[in-house]
Amino acid sequence: MSMIDFSASIARRSMVRLTSCRTDATCAPTTPPTRPAVPSSAPAGPLRATERVATSSWSWAAETPRSELLTAGTMRLHRRSRGRARGGPRGLDRWARRCGRIREPDQGARTMTAGSPRAGRRPDGTPRRALVTGANGGIGRAIVQRLTDDGYEVVTMDVAGPADLVVDLVGDPMPTEALADIDVCISNAGVVDTLSPAHRMSAEKWALDIDVNLTGSFRVVQACLPGMRERRYGRIVLTSSVAAAIGARGQVAYCASKAGLIGMARAIASENVAHGITINCVLPGTIATPKVLAMPPEVVERVRDRFMPGGRHGEPEEVAGLMAYLASPEAGFVTAQSIIIDGGAHLGNVSLGDPGKGD
């Protein structure tokens, strides 16, 4: 069984990579990518990350040095349906043709009126297709599992190894034909690596979080919108953060990038609500992901005791459940909303009376 992997690495000039991989073979992250044939007109010698060699309708670049990465590894895109890869072997060209069929005249059955249909499958009987970025994290894995359990064909972006094809997320055109048949876009990828107060924040540190959390999310959503508008159906869910609503000391760039998602969602909602497309933001608090639980036990307990009124962290499956609803046909009347899911932590434990005295 084979699948198409769409890999993306977050580099100082963010790079998106496309490659193919067989599920019955091991794709070792340490194996260097195979170079495509270089045209005779290409410059001799090794390519730098900024040099491009045309290959068909795409461009290729040398792998960005690891020292330039904002986050380690790459993101790879897999197609899944109830946990399985779908379809037989196909190359990038066949993938592009398949995704591009929504633009063919004989596919009129896939054109929908605004807000319809209220079903889990398309008019032609195929499962709805969802894209989940940041699928390698604790919340991302829970989202993928929930959507596949609900019958979606899921395309995931995870942090993983090498790739054959590189596109600059900031400067190059996004591969819209590879994302043209996406019905549900869940932008969950993000970083929270920049810790600095505002008066010491450098332009480079500021750009790191903005490029990944805000610009990267926008470009993925932008690539999915044309197909959604043509079919007059789409669900977009953005993972923001409760920090966007209440702030966090030392995380000015992170808070700004996550708050930017909320403004972006409102603008996109107003532009696309008449096309049957909804977009909402989910603002998680402290969630029991592997990264959070890997902190020293005393830190985990202190955070729970000081900031968790319910006495526990949230579970990734709880966030996934909220996102699954917002991604469903039943949520067609919900758009431009920012929903906090933090167990009441943003309330600051404010009490209006003695709970021991009842009402």
CATH number of 256's domain: 3.40.50.720
Question: Is the whole model's pTM more than 0.75, yes or no?
Answer: no
In a domain, 49, yes or no: no
Q: Is 325 a catalytic residue?
A: no
> Pick from 8, 6, 5: which is nearest to 63 by CA?
8
Q: Is the dihedral of CA 115, 119, 123, 128 positive or negative?
A: positive
> Which pLDDT score, from 0 to 100, does residue 172 have?
64
In a domain, 61, yes or no: no
DSSP-derived pairing of the beta strands 15-22 and 165-168: antiparallel
In a domain, 116, yes or no: no
Q: Are 139 and 319 in contact (CB under 8 A)?
A: yes
Within 10 angstroms of residue 238's Cβ, the number of other Cβ atoms is 29
In a domain, 119, yes or no: no
Domain count, the chain: 1
Count CA within 13 A, CB hemisphere, residue 215.
19
Instruction: Catalytic residue, from 152, 233, 254, 325: name it.
Output: 254
For 112-142, how does the pLDDT look when each residue is reduced to its tens digit (9 = 90+)? 445 444 555 677 777 899 999 888 889 999 9
In a domain, 351, yes or no: no
In a domain, 44, yes or no: no
> Which pLDDT score, from 0 to 100, does residue 272 have?
98
For 306-315, how does the pLDDT look when each residue is reduced to its tens digit (9 = 90+)? 777 777 889 9
In a domain, 109, yes or no: no
Q: pLDDT under 50 in the chain at which residues?
A: 1-14, 16-74, 83-113, 115-117, 161-165, 350-359
> Which pLDDT score, from 0 to 100, does residue 136 have?
83
Q: Is 218 helix (H, G, I), strand (E, B) or coil?
A: helix
> Which pLDDT score, from 0 to 100, does residue 335 have?
98
> Which pLDDT score, from 0 to 100, does residue 78 have?
58
What is the residue range of 172's domain? Answer: 2-23+74-101+124-345
